[in-house]
Amino acid sequence: MTDLPLADRTITEVAEALRTGRTSSRELTDACLERIDAHAERLNTFLAVDPDAARSAADAADAARGSGDGADRPLLGIPYALKDIFVTRALDDDGRPLPGGLPTTAGSRILEGYRSPYASSAQERLDAAGAVLIGKTNCDEFAMGSSNENSAFGPVRNPWDESTVPGGSSGGSSAAVASGQAFFALGTDTGGSIRQPASLSGVVGMKPTYGRVSRYGMVAFASSLDQCGPFARSVRDVALVLGALAGHDARDSTSVDTPVPDYVGALTGDVRGLRLGVPREYFVEGMEPGVESAVRAGVETLRELGAEIVDVSLPSTDSGLATYYIIAPAEASANLARYDGVRYGLSAGEDELWANYDHTRGSGFGAEVKRRIMLGTYALSAGYYDAYYVKAQQVRTLIKAEFDEVLTSVDAILAPTSPTVAFKIGAKVDDPLAMYLNDACTLPVNIAGLPGISVPCGLSDGLPVGLQVIGRAFDEATVLRVADAYERAAGFADLRPALAPA
């Protein structure tokens, strides 16, 4: 094992220690809970934690291992966190609160007090794998944001520099993993919300292919783009978690029934003979020089490992942002119509129906969510539908076709994840367009439905930079193989932030 503190190690390392009896799930869970005690309030990483429920799940995992149940269950006893956009079962069949049941807010006041009667597919699968749920992480309201400053429950701070953002919208999850409060965490990625916070927080984060992982029980933002995926401290850890999450689920009609390969088995460390494309359009205007040099050095590392590096072009890249900001708000405006003050969470308690809608939505949604609902409603309105929504769908087809074309001649694509490192809290809140630019390198991947990962590729001014690997649809195995080979060779796998004293 490395000499890192227990809470900072990888799942791979602690799973081996569990197997040989050198640690227990209880010890791992206590190590995370200690970090939570020391740092969660300051970093604002969690919206709900139930230490007792986590400890009893850990004890159950230890008992299961004791009775010989540990073989082939690499996540048995591993503590994890869920972005508070996954519903977790908190009511019994009669609607009574379940002990240890956690609330679900999606980072919004409009869901304050909401308790779900069912579990998300992600929680069910991780439960079945024996992982230990430690809590629900802070996030941008309904996953709308790139900095975690849109949470109704306050911003998350980046453990690498607490005056900066951790990225968003899954910033609670990325910061929790970076600071040892969980061994892995789930996020959701609609336009970059796993990869961008992974990059800014110095951890690995993966968005699988659209349809690879069930969205059942994930609070919807933009249904044709949303996909869930893991954050962890190594590519191998991400592969382990993805293996537990992936696969068909009849309760999500967009989940695809295709075999799930052995992702860990795909990590050969060998990229010789692979063709990797570097799209020139991804080195966008406004990219920080320190980011560009770290990413280009990452490309060189893969060349030295024997991959063939090819210059490629994705000419419609700069239309990605405009396309996304029509399609995502359009879908959000429809999805968010369900928060009516009658069915879930907050209700203004007005007698008159329209006044109740008005006051519940007026006080329950934050400014960014209202901005998106207005943009989306406008784009879908009869007079503008063809000019905006239909046009955006046409450009979407074009962007996807360009990726498909490039990915017939290369095995994967290398790009920056984010044009900048973590920026100061407050620096971009008054400029939505500057904020939207954070995702210029990630959102085309959602538009095309492809898998993408961000892996740490060094520091710039002491803050983490991420290298993005993008692959063919349902070829997560190659994406993971490239990222893992890079990670092993690059020597950034043990980088951890120096946490401020509690």
Buried b or exposed e, range 16-53, using 16+ CB within 10 angstroms: ebbeeeebbbbbbbbbbbbbbebbbeebbbbbbbbeeb
Quote the least distance from Cβ 368 to ligand GLN, whole Å.
Answer: 8
C-beta neighbour count of 208 within 10 angstroms: 26
Q: Least separation, in Å, of the C-beta of 32 and ligand GLN? A: 25
Q: Is 293 a catalytic residue?
A: no
Residue from 151, 169, 333, 418 carrying the catalytic annotation: 169
Dihedral angle over CA of 213, 218, 319, 327, nearest 10: 120
Q: Is 333 a catalytic residue?
A: no
Which residue in the list 83, 136, 207, 428 is annotated as catalytic?
Answer: 83
* Helix/strand/coil for 345: coil
Minimum CB separation from ligand GLN for residue 424, in Å?
18
CB of 144 to ligand GLN, least distance (A): 5
DSSP 207: E
44 vs 188 by CB, closer to ligand GLN: 188
Cβ-contact 317, 447 below 8 angstroms: no
Q: Which residue has the tokens 């980072």?
A: 107
Residue 193 annotated in active site:
yes
Residue number, 120 or 193, with CB nearest to ligand GLN: 193
Min separation Cβ 173 and ligand GLN, Å: 12
Least distance from ligand GLN to the Cβ atom of residue 449, Å: 14
Question: If residue 282 lies in a helix (H) or strand (E), which one and from where to where?
Answer: none
Nearer to ligand GLN (CB atom), residue 220 or residue 274: 220
Q: What is the DSSP letter of 469?
A: E
253 burial level (CB within 10 Å; 0-12, 13-18, 19+): exposed
Q: What 8-state DSSP symbol labels residue 143?
A: G
Judged by the rule CB under 6 A, the positions of this chain that interact with ligand GLN are 143-146, 169, 188-193, 221, 328, 439
Nearer to ligand GLN, 54 or 328 (CB): 328
In our burial notation (b when 16+ CB lie closer than 10 A, e otherwise), range 263-273 reads bbebbeeebee
The single residue of 193, 199, 201, 418 carrying the catalytic annotation is 193
**Alpha carbon separation from 454 to 55, 204, 336, 459 (Å, rounded):** 31, 6, 29, 14
Q: In 407-445, which positions are buried (b, 16+ CB within 10 angstroms) versus exposed (e)?
A: beebbbbbbbbbbbbbbebeebbeeeeebbbbbbbbbbb
Query: How far does the chain reach from its first CA to its final CA, in angstroms?
Result: 26
Is the CB of 183 or the CB of 365 nearer to ligand GLN?
Answer: 365
Q: Considering beta carbons, is residue 191 or 497 the nearer one to ligand GLN? A: 191
State the catalytic residues.
83, 169, 193
